[in-house]
Amino acid sequence: MARSRSTSRFDFTEREMAEAFLAFLSSKKSAKILGRFTRVFSEIDCKQGRPDIVAVRLGAGTRLPVLTEELGHVAACILSKLNLGLPHTLDFLLGRSRYPARTIKECLAVLEQNGLTKTTKNKSFLLSKKGSALSSECWAFELKLAKPKRAIFQAKQMRMYSHRVFIIVPPNQAKPYERFSATMKRWGIGLATFDPRQGEFVLVKMGRERAPLSKEHLIFAVSQCLAPKS
């Protein structure tokens, strides 16, 4: 996301636009249009890219899990292989991951300590209800003053971990995206305009909601949003 003032056409930068949009997503006005989010964050590191804004929505009454950043990619891999009802053995996890046995064992211990997994009497592993919260709904937003092709490329990457993806552009800047409508429809990419000065949001295309392409990428993205920050 550009940090400098981009062009003479706008009296704001992409960063200023992102800061205003971040505040908008937490407002009552946004909740009426897009629904209420549990948490919203800017520039969260994901397995694939660094979206401008990520918003997560957990079910009512769900407690936010504690997952430190040090667990990272290994934890996301393990949690994506487990479920609530069917236990899996250590051999199962080792056979479906790219990490050494020692790392998997260490990570399983930390996950159980944080209440994200459970160990059965026969030493198999289950996902806990707290851990299942990491598969909650995730939305990603890419903000661009210009460069539609770049925006669409980045939005396509976000489909790996997002249920909904939006490109957000300044007012009167939606027209350049019309020639990419087929691509955006294929990937379920939404489009909206936002005026950071007035806080005016206009939904152009909602885009189709889809399950993320990778459960592991989803869990990693949500865990980064919910991780305690130093």
DSSP code per residue over 121-171: TTS-EEE-HHHHGGGSEEEEEEE-SS-HHHHHHHHHHHTTT-SEEEEEE-T
Note whether 155 and 124 are same-domain residues.
Answer: no
Q: Which residues of 163-181 are buried (b: 16+ CB within 10 A; e: fewer)?
A: bbbbbbbbeebbeebeebe
Indicate whether 6 pLDDT > 50. no
Q: Could you give the number of structural domains in the chain?
A: 2
Surface-to-core class of residue 124, CB atoms within 10 Å of its CB (0-12 exposed, 13-18 middle, 19+ buried): middle
Amino acid type, 73: H
Instruction: Give the confidence band of 7 by pLDDT, cuts at 50, 70, 90.
Output: very low
Note whether 145 and 179 are same-domain residues.
Answer: yes
Chain mean pLDDT for the chain: 86
Global pTM value: 0.85
What integer is the mean pLDDT of 189-203? 95
Range of the domain at 37: 14-60+136-205
In a domain, 216, yes or no: no
Q: Are 89 and 119 in contact (CB under 8 A)?
A: no
Indicate whether 57 pLDDT > 50. yes
In a domain, 197, yes or no: yes
CATH label of the domain that carries residue 103: 1.10.10.10
Note whether 142 and 196 are same-domain residues.
Answer: yes
Note whether 56 and 152 are same-domain residues.
Answer: yes
Q: Residue 229 corresponds to which tokens in the numbers above? A: 């920050």
Please write the tens of the pLDDT for every residue from 9-47: 788 888 899 999 999 999 999 999 999 998 888 877 777
Q: Are 25 and 34 in contact (CB under 8 A)?
A: yes
Reduced to 3 states, what is the DSSP secondary structure of residue 212?
coil
Strand partners, 55: 40, 139
CATH label of the domain that carries residue 29: 3.40.1350.60
Indicate whether 63 pLDDT > 70. no
- First-to-last CA distance in the chain? 23
Reduced to 3 states, what is the DSSP secondary structure of residue 96?
coil
Note whether 51 and 30 are same-domain residues.
Answer: yes
Other Cβ atoms less than 10 A from the Cβ of 99: the count is 15
Q: What is the 3-state secondary structure (H, E, C) of 69-87?
A: CCCHHHHHHHHHHCCCCCC
Note whether 114 and 54 are same-domain residues.
Answer: no
In a domain, 169, yes or no: yes
Indicate whether 100 pLDDT > 80. yes
